[in-house]
Amino acid sequence: EEGIIFIGPNSEHLEMFGDKVKAREQALNAGLPIIPGSDGPVSSISEVEKFAEKYGYPIIIKASLGGGGRGMRIVHHKGELEEAYDRARSEAKLAFGNDEIYVEKLIENPKHIEVQIIGDDEGNIIHLYERDCSIQRRHQKLIEVAPSLSISENLRERICDAAVKLMENVGYINAGTVEFLVTGEDFYFIEVNPRIQVEHTITEMITGVDIVQTQIKVAEGKSLHDPDVGVPVQDEIQTYGYAIQSRVTTEDPLNDFMPDTGRIMVYRSGGGFGIRLDAGNAYQGSVISPYYDSLLVKVSTWALTFEQAAQKMVRTLKEFRIRGIKTNIPFLKNVVSHKNFLSGEYDTNKLALMMSQTG
């Protein structure tokens, strides 16, 4: 009403994809494979019980308006159901102001693959390939890789094409991410994040496309392929090398990753060619309070090979000197240098076990 342009998707898409039940409906309309789930929100524990009887355990209960791993509970057998149902609803209410939940069949130990999308108001929609975000803690991403080492070229093409098809189907504008779970050569739609994400940095590093700048110019009404924007047509977009992002948080790995607070007395970071740091409040003298997310700094590395990118990440993490608060850097170093991570075939359950072995 005041003539201010919002840099991002329109309100229709924010509402559509902010509700995971509505997002599933759009994925079905576009012909994407989805995980078996409730047709809509569930209003009683008996509905969840009937779903579990039909599809079997384990199942996962999710907040309809959720994100960041909040309002999610995994149920392995009937005895866990009542507590998980109540906890998911109360957490959803606390985090999102709405206790609406739905239920899905749990795909165990999948790969978590997401596709970066950008669209303009002329109907052009392109993807910037995928990121592997499988290494998570409490359903929150910790380490991301682009492009993924764990999927075939055929599967990569199918997933990226599916993401574009969905966004074309709804006429999406600006930046967004379509997320999938992958098991073997099969993949299932999870959700759309109608925004730029924390891990967009590694996509920028492997494609050379400045996603933030592109968002602004698309909001100005320019075409993706306008010379002033400079995004190539889909067939000309390529990836170069490999990039890894680690999220350094103010959490103590030796105390069940409990958030730590206090004043940063010493702060020194690593650096060099192929190193990108995004640090809003990471500096000497900064006070880390308990009222905000524990993310301190994003560390992104790029190299021609995945092994070199991992070596850079380990070296950079070792160069950090942070005093006054505890961080998860020891855990991140262990994961990135682990043979399962370096092979690209990491088992997320095995990597989770390393959390208790971090020293």
Q: What are 297's two structure tokens?
A: 């700094």
Per DSSP bridges, beta strands 101-105 and 59-63 are antiparallel
Q: Any idea which residue has 């070199």 for tokens? A: 308
141 is catalytic: yes
Task: Name every residue whose Cβ is closer than 8 Å to that of residue 121 and which is 6 or more positions away in sequence.
Answer: 173, 218, 221
Strand partners, 174: 119
The three-point CA angle 184-247-243 to 5° equals 60
Q: What are 262's two structure tokens?
A: 């206090």
Q: What's the first-to-final CA gap in the chain, in angstroms?
A: 55
Q: What are 139's two structure tokens?
A: 């359903």
Which of 105, 111, 141, 298 does the annotation list as catalytic? 141
Q: 170, 182, 172, 188: which is closest to 126 by C-alpha?
A: 172
Measured CA to CA, the distance from residue 335 to residue 343 in angstroms comes to 12
Coil, helix or strand at residue 129? strand
What does 302-356 look like in DSSP terms, one character per residue?
EESSHHHHHHHHHHHHHH-EEESS--SHHHHHHHHTSHHHHHT---HHHHHHGGG
Measured CA to CA, the distance from residue 17 to residue 2 in angstroms comes to 25
Strand partners, 176: 117
Q: Any idea which residue has 């009222």 for tokens? A: 291
Question: Which residue type, as a one-letter code, is found at position 200?
Answer: H
Q: What are 322's two structure tokens?
A: 């942070």
Please answer whether residues 323 and 266 qualify as being in contact, where contact means their C-beta atoms are separated by less than 8 angstroms: yes
Measured CA to CA, the distance from residue 94 to residue 86 in angstroms comes to 12
Q: 2, 106, 88: which is closest to 42 by C-alpha?
A: 88
Q: Which residues are part of the catalytic machinery?
A: 141
